[in-house]
Amino acid sequence: MKDILLIGKMGQVGQELQRTLAPIGTITSIGHESLDLSQADLIRQVIRDVQPRLIVNAAAYTAVDRAESEPELAAAINAEAPIVMAEEALQIGASLIHISTDYVFDGRKNTPYLEQDVPNPTNVYGKTKLAGELGISQVYTQPSEIPYAILRTAWVYGTQGKGNFAKTMLRLGSERDEVKVVADQIGSPTWASDIAGAIATLSSHFLNPVENVVPSGIYHFTNSGVASWYDFAVAIFEEAKALGIPLKCDRVVPITTQDYPTLAARPAYSVLSCQKISTVLEAFPTHWRQALRQMLTELYSQTP
């Protein structure tokens, strides 16, 4: 029996999790190249073969706009696969930690969303992620003392993975004099490394329970502070230039959501309250600007 089965090892959070989970227990890491999450039977077989004490699901269908034209595939990966994981985990007495999203909310609030706020997703991606949440919660409502957690996060970026907003801005900033960025969507930029750290803390509690047992359920985790995508872009360029990174861009222009139409609707406000998880972490998450500086320092220390 392995301690941890990590699903989604090659994503930007998954790659960080390989590092943060290593001190906690033995890990079996699985990527999309060896596990098709649209195939429920394959998921069941992997879990039965590994027999983990904890499953961490960092895999998802995250192409928000493409999901509008591929709802069945998005549902298979974001809704059906996590339910299968929960069912198999419960069968062998394993815990489950599953990553979800701020996009389960419609963005109509103007104060941070709490875990108990009623979701109302406005796009296929958000709807499929919510279906996965609900399915996991229903599986684990069966009489059981086995803990589970659904960790909602938002605006994820990092040094790993193929692409994210920060990497896109750095690329555009090296190619263009001017970059236009949406300024009327508000959230909390979140470093993948910090998400992985929070999941490692939860994992440690689940695998080595102490007197103050961490309760099962939904948790919100993002870096602290709020920003628009415009604010985030400006900060990326400022921090990169402070590190001596040569950029061509000298002008970031704020635009509206209407100026930049997308297939999938985005919430105008998706700030998540992290008060609940702060009691588990025994600290409040790092401010997003500080995390961004750390990420860029790490990214450019890796660059030849």
55's tokens: 């499953």
Identify the residue whose tokens are 């009623």.
118
- Looking at the chain, how many residues does it have? 304
CA distances for 271 relative to 139, 188, 226, 252, angstroms? 28, 6, 7, 23
CB under 8 Å, gap of 24 or more: what pairs does 140-144 form?
140/86, 140/90, 140/96, 140/216, 142/90, 144/90
Give yes or no for a contact between 142 and 83, defined as CB atoms under 8 angstroms apart.
no
Residues 6 or more apart whose Cβ sits within 8 Å of residue 228: 182, 183, 184, 185, 186, 254
Buried b (16+ CB within 10 A) or exposed e, 64-101: beebbeeeebbbbbbbbbbbbbbbbbbeeebbbbbbbb
Annotated catalytic residue, options 125, 148, 157, 230: 125
Helix and strand element counts for the chain (H, E): 10, 12
For 123-153, the DSSP string reads SHHHHHHHHHHHHHHHHHTSS----EEEEEE
Residues 6 or more apart whose Cβ sits within 8 Å of residue 48: 88, 92
Is 125 known to be catalytic?
yes
Closest by Cα among 175, 276, 165, 274 to 228: 165
Closest by Cα among 143, 146, 282, 115 to 215: 146
Catalytic residue numbers?
A: 125
